[in-house]
Structure 1
Amino acid sequence: MGVAIRQAGEADREVLVRLLDESFMQDPVSTWVFPDEAHRRDVHGKFLGVFIDVALAEGRVDLTEDHTAMALWLDIPAGVPEGEDDTPARMRETADPENERAELVGRLMGEVHPHDRAHAYLLMIGVKPERQGEGLGTELMAPVLERCDREGIPAYLEASSARSRVLYERLGFVFMGTAVQLPDGPRMWPMWREPRG
């Protein structure tokens, strides 16, 4: 396919927030966290901006040159992290302090995140709605998955829709067996990929 991809930095933050906001505006998890569409349009970008800030500070953000797709990655060491992760609380405080769902989704994901082995964590991947289904997500993930295979590192993610779950299965990810059921909302599927080769 030959998609031009570069690593994004702080100077790209506004572009990244806009892209992720647009990519996930109608995502089942986003519509559960922010059921009112007008309110979602006001706070959704702030909410997703926390993920971007974490990835820029602690991981990597890959961005297509035409700004139509991006992937946020973290390298997670083995072992239970020391102290409590304040990211879910920061998501709620930054975006929508009165909305407990803005924190709950992060807490539920944290409860199922595996910590027994070091792994590459695909925190989020976003593709502009009009470009979805063209293979951009696969192109974005390929360099990191190739590194995982070369270095013998597994990878982990949570699929937020049945459609994305199918994409990840094609790339070698396997559903870990227990879905996260958001209260009165959609499921999320924790998925693991062993290195190939």
Structure 2
Amino acid sequence: MADIVRAAASDVPALASVLASAYAEDPVWSWLMPHDRDRRLRLLFTAHLAQQIPAGRVWTDPDRTVAAVWAEPGKWKLPLSYLLRNAGTLLWAGRSQLPRTGMRLLALEHRHPAEPAHWYVEYIGTHADARGTGRGSQVLGGLLEQADADGRPVFLESSNRRNLTFYQRHGFTVQEEMTFRAGPPMWSMWRWDADR
């Protein structure tokens, strides 16, 4: 895991920018935030990263061009205290689309598997300027080494069909194309330990 590092509090602005860039053209985020997306994504990711970094759940590359939020088994669910602390940010970033955003998040939480115990890739993104350099693969690969050493599977939801082949190259398989009452589909994906 020499190619990846745990993010520090000082990395929040840079990594919020990375994730905002990575999700700028994402179909789900485009639907959730049709206007002023870059600023609103930066706001959301700044608040989220500030909460996740102290727990050791944010990883990056040495140049801070990739950001990954990675939850250990049993720690993927956001506690009510998180939502309360970030209510103002969620209201401001969600604005008129807040009900839509809330419904999508609740639907995803409801569909998130409880078993088996698994690692969870909540977000991973590469800044647009660094796409195609292999840095995203290095960060994800380092995290997957952790999961393999632990012997547990890895779960994620992809919000962009174009990213499915990237995840498949890393051993993930699509479990389900998730459709919702409104908005674009998403895909749930699993990766099992290579030795299984």
**Residue pair 1:92, 1:102 contacting (<8 A) in 2 also:** no
Distance 1:167 1:85, change over 3 A: farther
Return the match for 2:90 from 77, 89, 92: 92
**Residue pair 1:154, 1:195 contacting (<8 A) in 2 also:** yes
Secondary structure of residue in 1 paired with 2:91 = helix
Deviations, residues 8-44 of structure 1 (Å, cap 9, x unaligned): 11121111111111111111111010112xx223322
Q: Matched residues in 1 for 2:79 and 2:131: separation? A: 38
Superposition TM-score, scaled by structure 2 size: 0.84
Return the match for 1:47 from 44, 47, 60: 44
Q: Matched residues in 2 for 1:3 and 1:59: separation? A: 16
Aligned residues: 192
Return the match for 1:195 from 180, 183, 193: 193
Return the match for 1:69 from 56, 66, 69: 66
* Stretch deviating more after TM superposition (128-137 or 156-165): 128-137
Residue 130 of structure 1 corresponds to: 129
**Residue pair 1:70, 1:126 contacting (<8 A) in 2 also:** yes
Q: Matched residues in 1 for 2:77 and 2:23: separation? A: 28
Residue 18 of structure 2 corresponds to: 19
**Residue pair 1:109, 1:180 contacting (<8 A) in 2 also:** no
Residue 116 of structure 1 corresponds to: 115
* Stretch deviating more after TM superposition (13-22 or 44-53): 44-53
- TM-fit CA distance, 1:181: 2.3
* Stretch deviating more after TM superposition (181-190 or 88-97): 88-97
**Identity %, equivalent residues:** 26
- TM-fit CA distance, 1:130: 2.8
RMSD: 2.8
Superposition TM-score, scaled by structure 1 size: 0.84
Structure 1: gaps spanning 5 or more residues? none
**Residue pair 2:57, 2:71 contacting (<8 A) in 1 also:** yes
